[in-house]
Chains A and B, each alone.
Chain A
Amino acid sequence: MGAFIVRRLLNYVVLVFVATSLAYLGAATAFHPKDMYLQKNPPTPAVVMYHELNERNDNPDKPVLERYAHWVDGVAHGDFGQTWQLDSVSKHFSISVWVTVRLVTVAAVISAVAGILIGSFQAVRQYKFSDHAITFGSYIIFAMPVFVLAPLLKLVAVQVNKAVGGNTPLLQYQGEIDPDATGFWGQLFSRADHLLLPTISLSLGLIAFYSRYQRGQMLDVLGSDFLRTARAKGLSKTRAILKHGVRTAVIPVMTLVTYSTILTFAGAIITERVFGWNGLGSWFTDATNHSDVNSVAVITLFSAVLVLIAGMLSDIITAVLDPRVRL
């Protein structure tokens, strides 16, 4: 068993390395960092340009493989290079990643809990009006990509603010916090207010996704013998469903939840852009627009590692939840 896990881990590490290398080489050949300097008005002097390009290890006159080798060497020593603004990539990363964490965490928790509860509720009341209504609602949400949902939420917020009136708008949709907010409670409220719309835009899709899956799993479980046994031994219907039904049905759903949650950390690009949060997603698009290979590579590395962690984590969660699985 141990050998199996080690071999699997090794295979994952190789995959992450190859994936990141592909991203680096793709970016290094696709981007034109020189144009960034030449398009400036007035254009940057050639000496300064080449000096900065060499600093960033993005000098297109050097062979790609040489730059790649230099980058791998740096990464092996914990040096991820410099951004297009000649900042340290590691420093920029440690700032952006927390912005994304603050943006995504609440949404991830809410969507997992709500999705599983709603799905179980639907299964228990199968083919009732509520089941049909929720199914129809999730169809609509599935058809609504984030880049439609997020501006739509903004639109609604503006109309709500207009209807409510007042000096300061009720619903905030730009940035993380109002810089004028003072005091602990004032800042907390401002943060929560700014978090509301992005959280909705991130979680609606996930809730629809989880609840649909949980509903299907729950329907399989509801007819099972062990649930009837639990009832026969005197448990109330609600307790039997919660303790024995939901817990069994949630095991396969947890895999999905782990993967989606972890991938949201890397995939909140649109939400960050629309609501003006300077997290990893915004950094990634900015870096691409500025032909910044180092930043792009580190974010790709981060999300490849996240996929790896998701894979391991979902195995562990399954083992914890499912008494039939032993690690």
Chain B
Amino acid sequence: MKRAAFILASNPLTLLGVLLVSLVVMAAALADVIAPFPEHRGAVVDFVNFNKPPGGDFLMGTDVVGRDLFSRILYAYRISLLMAVVVLAIAVPIGVTLGLMAGYMGGRWEYGLMRVTDVFLSIPPLVLALSILGVMKPTLLNGMIAVTAMWWPWYTRLVYNITRGEKAEGYVLAAEVTGASRAHVMFREILPNCMPAIVTKMTLDAGFVILIASSLSFLGLGVQAPTPDLGSMVAEGARYLPDQWWLSVFPGLAILIAVFGFNLIGDGLRDILGGDR
């Protein structure tokens, strides 16, 4: 603990990461309170105030139908964080369990599971999610399914590699000799040793899921209008470059801040916990 505190204190960047992520989480949680125009999250049209540059009542300006960009970004953070939480909550347990099985049980399990993982890993992540969404309706739920489908193999491979190393360790042998069940050895003995790497990767991935999700909606394959989403806001705004620059710059900056925050924390955690490379 003391060591962790020392590392944190000598790592102002990690502190910055904690600050950024706290800001993003608070923005999303308190959007109803903070947002100057909460109703602008939906299909509102205000032709009096359309295309207003940043300033005055509109901190980040307004879009082509007069909605306050700042308010929409706050609500868009909700979608981003929800996406990150749901995807990781589903993908990590699946990936970790399969990785433990492949690494610990060996034999046919290892061969079969790792070949399937190889297949998933040999399509660029974004392309896999795109092709899944290509045949489904672009909704938030399907977006989550698509991103989850591309995510679990990375955890399988990470945990598989650690498990293979740990399998030969004395404590595993000791548990086996005392007659512990396979499930006990995998989840109670080996898993705790994978945790530092998993936690580090999850922190980095929280940012990465937000990034991929925004990429999907940027291509029109994620959350659909009028729900605000950072990726689709950038796509929409890019059509009005360079005059209404704020329409794409602020949502882009919002993505950068959130992902940067998670990356800073993940990087710091890696120093503290060790963990994946």
**Is B one of A's binding partners?**
no
Residues in A lying within 8 Å of B, measured CB to CB: none
